[in-house]
């Protein structure tokens, strides 16, 4: 049901380079053997003697003062080990560090609500008991008195004078604002033949809902004051710097351990408040604590994707369809707390002009807090919203000016020959050929035969539509971009670490700093190591998971933001090369020849000229580890190589908000065909094509898996997945009944295609990838707009279009058309 199209040769092959080894081949995935047998170890599979189960007491109100909490009845229940409430948390910890400048900086955020709740589901207290069921029984006995306050759930009302304020200490519901302007925006509009105005577009709130929810098993060692946190948090480096200062403890006292994680998609970055609460309980109750988050709790409280409005947009266009610039006001709804925010206020800038040569851009960014679950990264974090917006501008401009969306794209895409391309804000698109990708997409979707398909659909009473989404997956953050939202922040660059060692019996052992959630790091790391050490991936043991006590952990360690293929594999490559160098150094002593005459192949270090003169790697491991008498004193060889990869970044210019914010730019072009039932608004995606370019592919099958997964997320987000709140702040989609994710029967026929434009900036020519789902959200929006055009040319203005919204567009196309105005000279 899926077809793959790949060019026989990569687009760019460096001169004289010959493909060799396992890179680029689909070796069996190392993770699979345990996972298909149910032998994975996820946090909830970890059990400890005397472990207590935590259950959270949560706010039923969107906004209320807490007037009292009484845990006495809960604590009196037999089998209950103890409780924790906000007052204790406020006494034992400091508020979490805020990334924002004032006013957001004034927000006080603790592990549990202190004095006030600000969204439905916010944790108010925790009960720990001998069984899961008992813990919930006891949680039901905790008596909390609330004094309800008015709620705000519409970001557009958040700053109105009469709107209730969530965080009084911040003065208003404004959390962060900034103005971004590059190029000559006024000049662009003066030069334009047409100005297309779009009053309001809305990127909906959703997240990619990993199947495993958050959780942890936390142990406290009273003797050493050290916590061991078995958790599925996907960015322990970030969790640690949030948790340590709040808990008034050194970071080495926080040992993060992970084996398998049941999906993350960014949503598991910000579990630090809950982890702090578990740490406090483990210490208070002298027992290991299991915290298992259930689905409804996840939906109510965790990591919603940023909801964003684009207001008063104006696009400057020449008569021939050349795009000169745009200006807009982005209004971002962060939810009740800033757990990773306001980084969303700058992350979008990695892809400021999208795939296009827009040189003149102004974006006024305002972020507000509302009485909804806190936002945090979600696959495509902050760029997806902006890229959807850039794509929406393209199609609306094309439709309003009577231009072909394919031609407008081709005319305005950054061109292959312009790579590396510097954007108006100083980001550098490393490589790519977007027009070529679009051609592949058109071929796979059957563009030549669209007229017949349209006629066929119409003969069956259906409206037929074709749409494109073209996006970028910017990977490997320059954390210096955080200074664009807060110049005081002392973050910049990035890093990741790996160790590769050769043990006494010749075993090659790799440890990673990353926390994979299905991205196959064990497999791809083994390929890279095998190719460098001259062995097979089967010979390489990559330890499953992450443990900060393995000493393979750097400040930015984790798995997020499309970077493993660059930072993770860069570290693996560095460590493996370091080890290879040491093996040769030892080989040169033992074999009595210069290192330059040696090679690593077939499990040996041997003379290039004489394969008989060889030392097995096992012997190397044995000599260094257990048989080293008589080796030269100055032989600096441990066969235990640690390497920290540090991408080449400069500090961005804070004043101009200018600089290279990410290292690589994978690209996606997706195309969708839809058929709409005009009577009901029900529609079906009848064909889909996804083209990806992530540079050199270490393991094409794994890359394709990421493309498919991101596509599925996109299709879910485009059709049904929404976190919708009522005016009182109740989440209307708190479970998988009402929050409909795609099932097997919902998936359209898919064709995938690839081109490879190796990154000139990375060690392996790879680019981070996996977050290309935004393309699909737009492809569906564009296809719907095309399909509905014969019925009054409605404008698709929302990223999520469930059937009811499509029906509304059909019923009253004028209502949506009032959002758009064209002023021509």
Partner 1 sequence: MLLREVEYVRPSSLDEALRLLAADDGARPLAGGQTLLNVMKARAAAPDVLVDLNAIEELKGIDLAPNGTLTIGAMTTYTELLEAAETKARPILGEVAATIADVQVRNRGTIGGNVCSNDPTNHLPPLMVALGAEMVIAGADAERTVKAEDFFLGVYLTAAGPGEVLTKIRIPAGRSDGFAAVTIGADGTCIVNAAASLNGEARVAIGCVAAVPVLIRPGGRDADAVRDAVRGADLDPPSDVHASGEYRRHLAEVVAARAIEQASARS
Partner 2 sequence: MEPQTSQTITVTVNGETYEREVEARRLLIHFIRDDLDLTGSHVGCDTGNCGACSVIYNGQLVKSCMLLAVQADGARIETVEGLAPEDGKLHALQQSFSDHHALQCGYCTPGMLMSAKALLDANPSASEEEIRKGLQGNICRCTGYWNIIDAVKAVAR
Interaction site with partner 1 (CB under 8 A):
55, 132-133, 135-137, 140, 294, 296, 679-682, 719-720, 722, 724, 732-733, 737-738, 740, 742-743, 745-746, 802-804, 807-808
Partner touching 807 among partner 1, partner 2, none, CB below 5 to 8 Å by kind: partner 1
The residue range among 149-157, 358-366, 535-543, 742-750 that interacts with partner 2, by the rule CB under 8 A, is: 742-750
Measured from the CB atom, the residue of 411 and 740 that comes closer to partner 1 is 740
Whether 113 and 88 have beta carbons less than 8 Å apart is answered as no
Distance of CA 375 to the CA centre of its chain: 13
User: Which of these segments, 256-264, 404-412, 641-649, 790-798, binds partner 2 (CB under 8 A)?
Assistant: 256-264
For residue 200, CA distances in Å to 181, 364, 662, 720 come to 20, 14, 29, 21
Q: Is 106 helix (H, G, I), strand (E, B) or coil?
A: helix
Contact indicator for 465, 785 with CB cutoff of 8 Å: yes
Beta strand pairing call for 360-368 and 323-333: parallel
Provide the H-helix boundaries in 372-480.
383-401, 405-412, 434-445, 450-459
Using CB distances below 5 to 8 A depending on partner kind, what does residue 36 bind out of partner 1, partner 2, none?
A: partner 2
Residue 337 Cβ, how far from partner 1 at the closest point, in Å? 24
Output the smallest distance, CB 672 to partner 1, in A: 16
Q: Which is nearer to partner 2, 166 or 289 (CB)?
A: 289
Residues 6+ apart with CB under 8 A from 385: 203, 305, 306, 308, 330, 332, 344, 348, 774, 799
* CB 208 to partner 1: min, Å: 17
Phi-psi region of 327 (alpha: psi -120 to 50; beta: other; left: phi over 0): beta
Residues of span 35-54 touching partner 2 by CB under 8 A: 35-42, 44-45, 47
CA 112 to CA 105: how far, in whole Å?
Answer: 18
**How many whole angstroms separate alpha carbon 113 and alpha carbon 125?**
8
Residue among 390 and 711 whose Cβ is closer to partner 2: 711
Which of partner 2, partner 1, none does 427 bind, CB closer than 5 to 8 A by kind? none
Cβ nearer to partner 1, comparing 804 with 818: 804
CA dist 666 to 12, 433, 599, Å?
A: 15, 10, 34
Write down the least CB distance from residue 687 to partner 2, Å: 13
Exposure class string for 601-618: b at 16+ Cβ within 10 A, else e: eebbbbbeeeeebbbebb
- To the nearest whole angstrom, how small is the minimum distance from the Cβ of residue 295 to partner 1? 9
Residues 680-739 that bind partner 2 (CB under 8 A): 701-702, 704-705, 708-709, 711-713, 715, 735-737
Residue carrying the six token digits 């955080």:
482
Nearest approach, Cβ of 737 to partner 1 (angstroms)? 6
Residue pair 658/426 in contact by the 8 Å Cβ criterion: yes
Q: Pick from 49, 248, 460, 743 the residue near partner 2 by CB under 8 A.
A: 743
Closest approach of partner 1 to the CB of residue 292, in Å: 9
What is the footprint of partner 2 within residues 308-337 (CB under 8 A)?
Answer: none
Residue 345 or residue 475: which is nearer to partner 2 going by CB? 475
What distances in angstroms separate CA 326 from CA 182, 202, 398, 782, one per listed residue?
10, 17, 15, 20
Residues binding partner 2: what is the number (CB under 8 A)? 62
Q: Which of residues 747-776 bind partner 2 (CB under 8 A)?
A: 747, 750
Judged by CB under 8 A, the residue of 691, 741, 769, 784 near partner 2 is 741
Nearer to partner 2, 522 or 582 (CB): 522
CB of 137 to partner 1, least distance (A): 7
Contact present, 449 and 466 (Cβ < 8 Å)? no
Within 568-639, where are the H helices?
Answer: 569-591, 617-626
Pick what 732 binds: partner 2, partner 1, none; C-beta below 5 to 8 Å, kind-dependent: partner 1
Q: Which stretch binds partner 2 (CB under 8 A): 316-324, 504-512, 678-686, 741-749?
A: 741-749
Q: Does 473 bind partner 2 (CB under 8 A)?
A: no
Q: Is the dihedral of CA 68, 73, 75, 76 positive or negative?
A: positive
The continuous run of DSSP H or E covering 663 comes out as strand 662-676
Name every residue whose Cβ is closer than 8 Å to that of residue 417 and which is 6 or more positions away in sequence. none
Assigned token pair, 127? 């009960």
Select 325 or 742, whichever has its Cβ closest to partner 2: 742
2 binds, among partner 1, partner 2, none (CB under 5 to 8 A by kind): partner 2
| Tokens matching residue 108 | 């006080």
Over the window 147 to 166, marking each residue x when it contacts partner 2 by CB under 8 A and - when it does not, the resulting string is --------------------
Nearer to partner 1, 453 or 740 (CB): 740
262 binds, among partner 2, partner 1, none (CB under 5 to 8 A by kind): partner 2
Ramachandran angles phi, psi of 72, nearest 5°: -60, -40
d(CA 579, CA 602): 16
In the shown chain, the binding pattern of residues 262 to 291 toward partner 2, with x for contact by CB under 8 A and - for none, equals xxxx--------------------------
Residue 732 beta carbon to partner 1: minimum distance, rounded to whole angstroms: 4
Nearer to partner 2, 57 or 661 (CB): 57
Residue 377, SS3 per DSSP = coil
Q: Is 408 helix (H, G, I), strand (E, B) or coil?
A: helix
The interface with partner 2 within residues 98-157 (CB under 8 A) comprises: 132-133
Residues forming beta bridges with residue 546, ordered by sequence position: 258
Using CB under 8 A as the binding rule, the residues of this chain from 497 to 536 that contact partner 2 are 517-520
Cis peptide bond upstream of 411, omega within 30: no
Integer-rounded Cα Rg, in Å, for the chain is 27
The option from partner 2, partner 1, none interacting with 750 (CB < 5 to 8 A, set by class) reads partner 2
Smaller CB distance to partner 2: residue 586 or 750? 750
The dihedral built from the CA positions of residue 714, 718, 721 and 723, taken in this order, carries a sign that is positive
Choose among partner 1, partner 2, none what residue 211 binds, the Cβ cut-off being 5 to 8 Å by kind.
partner 2
Q: Is 798 helix (H, G, I), strand (E, B) or coil?
A: strand
Least Å distance, CB 32 to partner 1, is 24
- Cβ closer to partner 1: 133 or 538? 133
Whether 504 contacts 621, CB under 8 Å: yes
550/807 with CB nearer partner 1: 807
Contact by Cβ (8 Å): 121, 149 = no
Length of the chain: 825
Neighbours of 653 (CB within 10 A): 14
In the bound complex, what is the minimum distance in angstroms from residue 720's beta carbon to partner 1?
Answer: 6
CB of 384 to partner 2, least distance (A): 16
Minimum CB separation from partner 1 for residue 74, in Å?
15
Q: Which does 519 bind (CB under 5 to 8 A by kind): partner 1, partner 2, none?
A: partner 2
Instruction: Give whichever of 462 and 501 is closer to partner 1, judged by the CB atom.
Output: 462
- Inter-residue contact 424 to 358 (CB < 8 Å): yes
- Smallest gap from Cβ 444 to partner 1, in A, equals 24
The helix or strand, by DSSP H or E, that contains position 816, with its residue range, turns out to be: helix 813-817
Alpha helix positions (H), 402-520? 405-412, 434-445, 450-459
Distance of CA 555 to the CA centre of its chain: 18
Residue 202, binding choice from partner 1, partner 2, none, Cβ under 5 to 8 Å by partner class:
none
Which residue ranges make up the site for partner 2 (CB under 8 A)?
A: 1-2, 26, 28-29, 31-42, 44-45, 47, 132-133, 208-213, 260-265, 292, 294-296, 517-520, 701-702, 704-705, 708-709, 711-713, 715, 735-737, 741-745, 747, 750
């Amino acid at each position: 049901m899926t077809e793959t199209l790949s060019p026989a040769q990569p687009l760019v092959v460096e001169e004289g380079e010959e493909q060799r080894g396992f890179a680029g081949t689909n070796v069996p995935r190392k993770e699979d053997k345990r996972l298909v047998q149910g032998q994975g170890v996820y946090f909830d599979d970890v059990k400890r003697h005397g472990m207590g189960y935590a259950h959270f007491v949560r706010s039923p109100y969107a906004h209320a003062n807490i007037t009292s909490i009484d845990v006495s009845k809960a604590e009196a229940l037999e089998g209950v080990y103890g409780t924790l409430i906000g007052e204790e948390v406020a006494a034992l910890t400091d508020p979490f560090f805020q990334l924002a400048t004032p006013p957001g900086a004034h927000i006080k955020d603790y592990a549990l609500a202190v004095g006030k709740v600000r969204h439905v589901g916010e944790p108010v207290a925790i009960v720990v008991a001998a069984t899961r069921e008992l813990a919930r029984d006891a949680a039901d006995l905790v008596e909390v008195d609330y004094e309800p306050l008015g709620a705000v759930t519409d970001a557009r009302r958040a700053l109105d004078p009469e709107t209730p304020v969530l965080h009084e200490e911040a003065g208003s519901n404004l959390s962060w604002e900034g103005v971004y302007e590059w190029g000559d925006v006024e000049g662009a509009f003066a030069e334009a033949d047409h100005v297309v105005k779009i009053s309001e577009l809305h990127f909906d709130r959703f997240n990619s809902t990993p199947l495993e929810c958050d959780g942890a098993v936390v142990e406290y060692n009273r003797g050493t004051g050290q916590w061991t946190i078995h958790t599925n948090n996907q960015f322990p480096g970030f969790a640690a710097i949030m948790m340590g200062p709040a808990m008034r403890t050194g970071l080495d006292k926080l040992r993060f351990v992970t084996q398998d994680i049941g999906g993350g998609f960014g949503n598991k970055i910000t579990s630090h408040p809950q982890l702090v609460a578990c740490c406090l309980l483990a210490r208070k109750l002298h027992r290991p604590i299991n915290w298992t988050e259930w689905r409804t709790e996840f939906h109510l409280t965790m990591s919603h994707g940023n909801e964003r409005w684009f207001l008063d947009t104006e696009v400057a266009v020449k008569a021939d369809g050349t795009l000169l610039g745009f200006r807009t006001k982005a209004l971002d709804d962060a939810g009740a707390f800033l757990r990773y925010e306001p980084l969303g206020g700058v992350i979008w800038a990695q892809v400021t002009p999208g795939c296009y040569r827009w040189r003149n851009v102004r974006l006024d960014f305002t972020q507000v807090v509302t009485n909804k679950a806190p936002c945090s990264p979600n696959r495509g974090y902050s760029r997806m919203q902006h890229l959807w917006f850039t794509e929406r501008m393209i199609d609306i401009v094309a439709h309003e000016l009577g231009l072909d969306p394919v031609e407008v794209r081709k005319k305005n895409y950054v061109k292959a020959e312009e790579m590396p391309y510097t954007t108006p804000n100083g980001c550098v698109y490393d490589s790519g050929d977007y027009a070529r990708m679009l051609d592949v997409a058109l071929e796979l979707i059957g563009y030549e035969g669209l007229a017949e398909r349209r006629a066929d659909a119409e003969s069956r009473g259906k409206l037929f539509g074709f749409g494109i989404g073209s996006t970028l997956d910017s990977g490997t953050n320059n954390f210096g971009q955080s200074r664009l939202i807060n110049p005081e922040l002392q973050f910049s660059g990035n890093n990741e670490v790996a160790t590769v060692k050769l043990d006494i019996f010749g075993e090659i052992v790799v440890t990673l700093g990353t926390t994979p959630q299905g991205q196959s790091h064990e497999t791809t790391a083994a390929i890279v190591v095998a190719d460098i050490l001259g062995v097979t991936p089967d010979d390489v043991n990559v330890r499953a998971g992450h443990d900060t006590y393995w000493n393979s952990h750097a400040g930015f360690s984790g798995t997020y933001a499309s970077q493993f293929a660059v930072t993770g594999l860069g570290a693996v490559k560095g460590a493996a090369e370091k080890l290879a160098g040491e093996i040769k150094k030892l080989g040169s002593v033992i074999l009595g020849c210069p290192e330059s005459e040696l090679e690593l192949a077939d499990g040996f270090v041997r003379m290039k000229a004489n394969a008989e003169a060889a030392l097995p790697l096992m012997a190397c491991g044995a000599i260094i580890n257990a048989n080293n008498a008589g080796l030269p004193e100055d032989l600096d060889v441990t066969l235990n190589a640690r390497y920290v990869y540090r991408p080449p970044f400069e500090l961005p210019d804070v004043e101009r908000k200018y600089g290279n914010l990410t290292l690589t730019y994978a690209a996606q072009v997706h195309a969708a065909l839809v058929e709409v039932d005009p009577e009901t608004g029900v529609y079906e995606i009848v064909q889909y094509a996804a083209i990806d370019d992530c540079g050199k592919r270490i393991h094409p099958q794994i890359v394709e898996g990421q493309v498919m997964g991101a596509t599925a997320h996109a299709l879910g987000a485009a059709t049904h997945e929404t976190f919708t709140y009522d005016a009182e702040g109740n989440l209307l989609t708190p479970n998988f009944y009402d929050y409909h994710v795609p099932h097997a029967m919902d998936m359209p026929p898919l064709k995938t295609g690839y081109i490879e434009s190796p990154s000139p900036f990375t060690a392996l020519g790879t680019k981070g990838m996996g977050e290309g789902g935004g393309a699909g959200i737009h492809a569906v929006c564009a296809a719907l707009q095309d399909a509905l055009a014969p019925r009054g040319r409605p404008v698709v203005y929302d990223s999520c279009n469930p059937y009811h919204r499509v029906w509304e567009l059909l019923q009253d196309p004028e209502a949506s058309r009032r959002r758009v105005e064209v002023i021509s000279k």
